[in-house]
Amino acid sequence: MTRTRAAERTTQQATGQVTGLATAQAATGTGRASGPVFWTTRRRDVLTGYLFVLPQLVGVALFVLLPVGMAIWYSLNERNVFTGEQTFVGGDNYAALANDPQLPEVLLATVLFCGGVVVANVTLGLLIAVLLNRRFRGVTVFRTLFFSPVVVSVVAWTLVWGFLLQDNGGINGLLDTVGIDGPNWLQQGDTAMLSVIFTQVVRGVGVNMVLFLAALQSVPRELYEAARIDGANSRTVFARITLPMISPTVLLAVIVTVAGALQSFAQIAVLTGGGPELSTTVLVYYVFQQAFEFNDIGYGSTLALMLLSFVMLLTLLQWQLRRKWVFYED
Amino acid sequence: MIRTRKVPGAVALTTVLALSAACSGSTADTSDEAVDLRMTVWTADTAQLELFDTIADAYLADHPEVAEITFESLPFADYNTTLTTQIAGGNAPDLAWMGDLSRDLIASDALVGLTDTFEETPGWEYDDLLGSATAEYSRDGTLYAYPFSNSPYALYVNTDLLAAAGQEIDPATLTWDQVAAAGSAVHAETGKAGFVVRDFDYTAWNTLATVWTGWGASAWSEDGRTCTFDSPEMREAFTFLHDAVFTSEAMPGPGTTADFFAGDAAFTVAQVSRASLLTGGFDFALHPLPAGPAGDYSVLGQAGMGVLSSSEHPEQAADFLAYLTNPENAAQLARYFPPPRTSLLTGEQLAANNEVLDASQLQAAVVDQLPNAVTLPNHTSPAEIAQRGKTALDAMWRPDADIPAVLRSVCTAIDPILAR
């Protein structure tokens, strides 16, 4: 009610200003004496609003909508990058998706990578946030420690991990000191996938940690006090109060992490180059290979559109499912 | 009110200015008289770039129709991708260095034929070019790129490591089996690597041609249409390599780095031009590649310079290329790149500008090898063949690999590309 009354007052004031202006203009002879005033305050505000968002709209049109439109056009054509010659091939590139012997392995690697990154990143982020959501000496140092990889260049981060994960690298050297013969991390399919997931999660977990920390600190204290009075133990408090109260943040973290994982390129390119075999060739890396290494712009665009559809579908799915498990106060 | 009126105008002005700034690119050269030329290169060596600039300056002094010549250095690792993107984006250079992209460029008619320009340039001496050097860049009797770098692969030996392991080799009768035996002994005695094929790194499998050619094997048939990875010769060659990695441990396994030039390995197969990486940290020797079961052989790594047909000034670009590669300037370039001109190919000539290798080494490792050298495997769609082949070959680098089956899978992977 308060907000409604305030809005009414604002509208009345604005109307009064316009009426007053028209009257003043009529009295002084500086404006048109009759007819409606076109540039009302409301119209000016609307125009101002549109002008403020115009740069963003232009940006989206130029760098999102136009490239998507061009990708659709390219996917319907065969293009010789050396001569610029283009031939319309209709749905050939879409039919090629079904006949690509490498695509099933690429999609499997994509699912494993995204699944691993999302589960590990969200779980670890929440765990660290819960552990650091207390007051103890050095808590700021720990928070900084977990967040610091986020600000490191992804290529530099991955290059260093590439050295550490070599067969004769630092990780195996460390394991060797305690009598463990470490695997050849980046040269075996299963450990290579684990390695790229690990480096991605360690670098990105700080973002989710900060999101969860902020969410945890916004949970009303009185809810915990009431639960304690009712005799709830820590596990019940977390499951019945903490988790539901921060579920909107969990949803946000999952959406952002899924989108980020589907776009992970530099980690794969630097660490494994998609190998061994196709074990770490995720879809976005495969798009790059087809379009920019094999110069098959048409098929690369088709794959890129498939990736775009996946991202949109997953986001839509998560958004629809939020009603099932996300708790909103109102 | 004044503020309300000004805000939309200010935002509109800002937007227009921002868009104007974003959309304004470099202005096109509108001069009718003098043109600008640009050549993409993958070297970042300042001495090499200075030499190119010096030659270009001398050309500009006599050619007022050319205003400026720029050498654009692109990172080697992404050179092909960057060059292709420039061409596809309508920003192609006038001239370009090329490695394994040459077949695609020639097949797509993306290069200007150079034979007529070179032959018509007074004093250029087209017949001075070595046939084995020009073959890779020729089609139907026309040369499409000048093979400015013709660097044979050779065997570098760390004699300090061999001595430490009590090993001796005779370069005159050296075979791959002897290299593996000595390398294995060095590894067992010192912990250092035995032999490494430089740049292979279990990824760039085409560099293994420096080994399998010794067994008489090749990646595909001469017409380039049929995979021959499953030949008996290739099986023998890969059995040797597999044993060297997993049995004798003469060769470091996947995921293990060993840089010969940092003193980490007893032998390396590398191009002669890599001798500049030797820093004097150990005593070394340089020999031609060891003999394989098929006898003596030599393998060549090449690079060419060509004029792109998409250039707005192909005639001026071809004329400059003829100047850059004439006998006098070719002699200057020979300081860094083994030339394709027979007149310049003597040990003494090459040694005159080489601070690391002497005349006898260069005669044996370069001059004597070039006439019969085969080039590294090269084909159209090189990146796709490399990736498909690498994906299939990854299964080779396990102790229990089924070598014949892996080699058959390589053919299954690349045959469809070869047959296009």
SS (H, E, C) A188-211: CHHHHHHHHHHHHHHHHHHHHHHH
Query: Predicted ipTM?
Result: 0.79
Lowest mean pLDDT segment, chosen from B15-19, B99-103, B281-285: B15-19
Q: What is residue B23's predicted lDDT score, i.e. its pLDDT? A: 42
- Contact yes or no for B203 and A47 at CB 8 A: no
CB contact under 8 A, A81 and B87: yes
Contacts A80 to B, Cβ<8 Å: 108
Do residues A165 and A171 touch, judged by C-beta distance below 8 A?
yes
Mean pLDDT of B272-281: 86
Whether pLDDT at B285 is above 50: yes
Nearest 5°: the CA angle B23, B27, B33 is 165
Q: In the prediction, which pLDDT does A318 show?
A: 85
**Over 90: is that where the pLDDT of A319 sits?**
no
- What percentage of chain A has pLDDT greater than the value 90? 73
**B286 pLDDT higher than 70:** yes
From chain B, the residues in CB contact with A53 under 8 A are none
Say whether B254 and A289 touch across the interface (CB within 8 A).
no
Please check whether residue A55 touches B, CB under 8 A: yes
Cβ contact (<8 Å) for B5 and A44? yes
Q: What's the confidence (pLDDT) of residue A26?
A: 45
* pLDDT over 70 at B14, yes or no: no
Which pLDDT score is estimated for B17? 46
The residue type of A138 is G
* Mean pLDDT, range B40-62, rounded to an integer: 95
Which of A39, A82, A278, A301 has the most B C-beta neighbours within 10 Å, making it the best mutation to test the interface with B?
A82
CB contact under 8 A, B256 and A167: yes
Which residues lie across from B195 on neighbouring strands?
Answer: B267
| A229 Cβ under 8 Å from any chain B Cβ | no
A77 touches chain B (CB under 8 A): no
How confident is residue A6, by pLDDT bands cut at 50, 70 and 90?
very low
- Rounded Cα distance between B294 and B10, Å, is 79
Which residues of A are less than 8 Å from B85 in CB distance? 292
| Chain B residues with CB within 8 Å of chain A CB | 1, 4-5, 7-8, 11-12, 14-15, 18-19, 80-81, 84-85, 87-88, 90, 104-105, 108-110, 202-203, 253-257, 310, 381, 383-384, 387, 390-392, 394-395, 397
* Contact yes or no for B95/B38 (Cβ under 8 A): yes
Residue B15, pLDDT score: 47
CATH number of A95-325: 1.10.3720.10
SS3 B307: strand
- Min Cα distance B248 → chain A (Å) is 18
Q: Please state, for a pLDDT cut of 90, what percent of chain B lies above it.
A: 79
Q: A167, B253: Cβ pair inside 8 Å? A: yes
Please tell me which residue of chain B has the smallest CA distance to A49: B8
Q: What is the pLDDT of residue B166?
A: 96
List Cβ neighbours of B43 (8 Å cut-off, separation of 6 or more). B49, B73
Average pLDDT value for residue range B317-324: 98
**pLDDT of B140:** 94
Alpha helices (runs of H) in B220-313, residue ranges in sequence order? 232-246
A82 and B11 within 8 Å at the Cβ level: the answer is no
Q: What pLDDT sits at residue A147? A: 93
Q: Which pair of tokens denotes residue B417?
A: 């590309």
Mind listing the domains of chain B with CATH numbers? 37-151+301-372 (3.40.190.10)
Q: What is the mean pLDDT of residues A200-217?
A: 95
**Per-residue pLDDT tens digits for B404-415:** 999 999 999 999
pLDDT of residue B11: 46
Residue B326 has pLDDT above 60, yes or no: yes
pLDDT value at position A18? 43
Mean pLDDT of all residues belonging to chain B = 90
Size of interface A-B (CB pairs under 8 A): 95
Q: Quick one: pLDDT at residue A294?
A: 92
Q: Inform me whether the C-beta atom of residue A249 falls under 8 Å from chain B C-beta atoms.
A: no
**Closest approach of B413 to chain A, Cα-based (Å):** 10
| pLDDT tens-place string over residues A38-79 | 889 999 999 999 999 999 999 999 999 999 999 999 999 999
Residue whose structure tokens are 């001109």: B341
pLDDT at A286 exceeding the cut of 80: yes
